[in-house]
Amino acid sequence: MSDWIALIVSIVVAFGAAAIGGLSTSESISTWYRDLRKPWFNPPDWVFGPVWTVLYLLMALAAWLVWSENAVGPVLVPLAFYGIQLALNSLWSYIFFTRRDLSIALVEIIALWIMILITTVLFWNVSQLAGLMMIPYISWVSVASALNYRLWKLNP
């Protein structure tokens, strides 16, 4: 039963971070963001919701897998980095969509990308499946980083 509770907690934590980011995002999508000049590779707005839903679910499952390996070795450090990258993820949404500061958001998303990489490696060392589950996330944030950069350049 405790495994199920841990899984539910992991999902709630991940989607809690998603909700915080979503609060920062929702008002700007149909106004400010819509009016930005965008690069050719900007996905349509409807893609973001489903992609982020899958990514947050994968992150939650990966964190749960790491937590489940607690008997095998220490998991506090990998889960601490996981928490840091979740916080940075939510912070990026605030900086980008609420403050509308594309340059600071770019610096922040680079820090986020680094924390995701560290988290992925730490997760891999505990559970290879957990590490693999983080790869779509770092891939998407790589695209988001390039998009943030191009938006910054196109919208000085």
User: Each residue of 9-39: pLDDT tens digit?
Assistant: 999 999 999 999 998 888 888 889 999 999 9
Mean pLDDT of the chain: 94
Tell me how many domains the chain contains. 1
Residue 110 sits in a domain whose CATH number is 1.20.1260.100
Range scoring the smallest mean pLDDT among 62-66, 67-71, 91-95: 67-71
Look up residue 73 and give its DSSP letter.
S
Give, in order, the Cα–Cα distances in Å from 56 to each of 4, 63, 97, 133.
18, 10, 19, 10
Q: What is the pTM of this model?
A: 0.93
Domain that holds residue 72: 2-154
Q: Centre a 10 Å sphere on the Cβ of residue 15 and count the other Cβ atoms it contains.
A: 16
Is 74:123 a contact under the CB 8 Å cutoff? no
CA-nearest of 57, 66, 71, 48 to 122 is 66
Contact 22, 93 (CB under 8 A): yes
**pLDDT band of 71, cuts 50, 70, 90:** low
Mean pLDDT computed over 84-109: 97
